[in-house]
Amino acid sequence: MTTQLVADDGAFPPVPPSDVDDVACVLAADWDAFRGLDRMANHWDRPGWGIRDRTYYWMLTFPAAPGLITETRVCQQHLARHGLDPVPEDGLHITMNRIGAVQDIARARVDELARQAVDLVGGPFEIQAHPLAGSPGAVRFTVTPWPALVRLHAALGHAAHATALPVRGRPTGLFRPHLGIFYCPADRPAAPVIESVAALRQRRPIPVQVESVELVALRREHRAYRWDVLHSVPLLPAPGGSAG
C-alpha cells in the first residue's frame, strides 16, 4: 500500500520530507523546522487530556534497546540544564495511531482490532534514531527511513476500518514519525534549547529493531506518559519472503 504524505500546519514538520527514503532529506526537514522556531510551547497544556483519562493507542515501544537507552541518557544529560521533562528510559516510544478513549470503546472491540492487525502489519524492519531535533513541545530523535513506518501506520488504520472503529487520530498523510526524549513544560524561547541540541547532531545514529507493535491503554502520570500493554502484535516476515 502506498500513502502520500501531505503538508498540513497541524503536523510537525508541516511540510513532509520530499523523499522519505532519503536519510539526508528527512534529517534536513526535521532540523530546519525545529531551528526555525522562535518559541517552544507547554507540551502538557492539552485540554481534555487529564490525569484520569485513558486512551487506546498503537505504539512502538523499546523496553530492550540498550543502545537507544544509552544514547538517550547521554543526550538528556547534555540538555539537563534547560529544565525540560525527561522521558524515562522505559517510556521511550514512537506514537503510531490513536484509537480512542477507553470509556468509549468496548474491550472486545479492541481485542478484535488486534486480531485484525495480525494479518496486516507486515514484517520486521530496522530504523535509525538520529540525535537530535525537536518540535514546539519536545526534543526528539529523528528516525529514518520512513517508508516502513508509514506503511505500518496505514496498515493499522486499515485494521481499524476492518473492525468498524472510527479513526480518531490523524490520517497517515499527516504522520511524522519521531521518538521523543524530552517534553517542554512551559512556554519559553526556543533558541537556548536549539543551540544545545545543535551540539549533539554529529553523534552517530543508533540502529533500532522494530519487531512488534503494541496496542496500549495510555495515561499521564504527572509529566510523563505511562501505559499498559493490552496486545503485542509481532511483525513477522511473510512465509518465503523477506523482512521490511
Confidence of residue 105 (pLDDT cuts 50, 70, 90): very high
Contact 171, 157 (CB under 8 A): yes
For residue 91, tell me if it sits in a domain: yes
What percent of the chain has pLDDT above 90? 86
C-alpha of 181 from chain center = 11
50 with 223: CB under 8 angstroms?
no
The more confidently predicted of residues 187 and 241 is 187
Cα dihedral 47, 223, 174, 111 sign: negative
Residue 188 has pLDDT above 70, yes or no: yes
In this prediction, residue 55 carries a pLDDT of 94
Mean pLDDT of the chain, nearest integer = 93
Please give the average per-residue pLDDT across 3-31, as a whole number: 95
CATH number at residue 74: 3.90.1140.10
In a domain, 243, yes or no: no
Residue 6 lies in a domain: no
pLDDT grade, residue 244 (50/70/90)? low
Statement: residue 158 has pLDDT above 60: yes
Residue 10 lies in a domain: no
- The answer as to whether 83 is a domain residue is yes
Strand order in the sheet with 55-61: 93-101, 55-61, 212-221, 224-234
* Per-residue model confidence (pLDDT) at position 237: 84
Q: Find the mean pLDDT for residues 79-106.
A: 96
User: Is 13 within the bounds of a domain?
Assistant: no
Q: Has residue 99 been placed in a domain?
A: yes
Residue 144 half-sphere exposure toward CB, CA atoms < 13 A: 22
pLDDT band at 140 (very low <50, low <70, confident <90, very high): very high
User: What order do you get walking across the sheet with 125-135 strand by strand?
Assistant: 85-86, 178-183, 138-144, 125-135, 206-210
* Pairing state between β 206-210 and 188-189: unpaired
Mean pLDDT lowest for which of 41-55, 84-98, 129-143? 41-55
Q: What is the pTM of this model?
A: 0.94
Q: Report the number of distinct structural domains present in the chain.
A: 1
pLDDT above 80: residue 231: yes
Q: Stretch 228-235: mean pLDDT, rounded? A: 98
Q: Give the model's pLDDT for residue 49.
A: 67
Q: Give the range among 69-78, 135-144, 165-174, 220-229 with minimum mean pLDDT.
A: 165-174
Would you say residue 179 lies in a domain? yes
Radius of gyration of the chain (CA): 17
pLDDT of residue 165: 86
Look up the domain containing 229 and give its range. Answer: 23-234
Q: Please give the pLDDT value at position 240.
A: 61
Residue 217 CB neighbours (<10 A) = 17
Q: What's the Cα-to-Cα distance from 84 to each of 81, 140, 170, rounded to whole Å?
A: 8, 12, 26
User: Is the Cβ–Cβ distance between 223 and 80 less than 8 Å?
Assistant: no
Confidence (pLDDT) at 1: 44
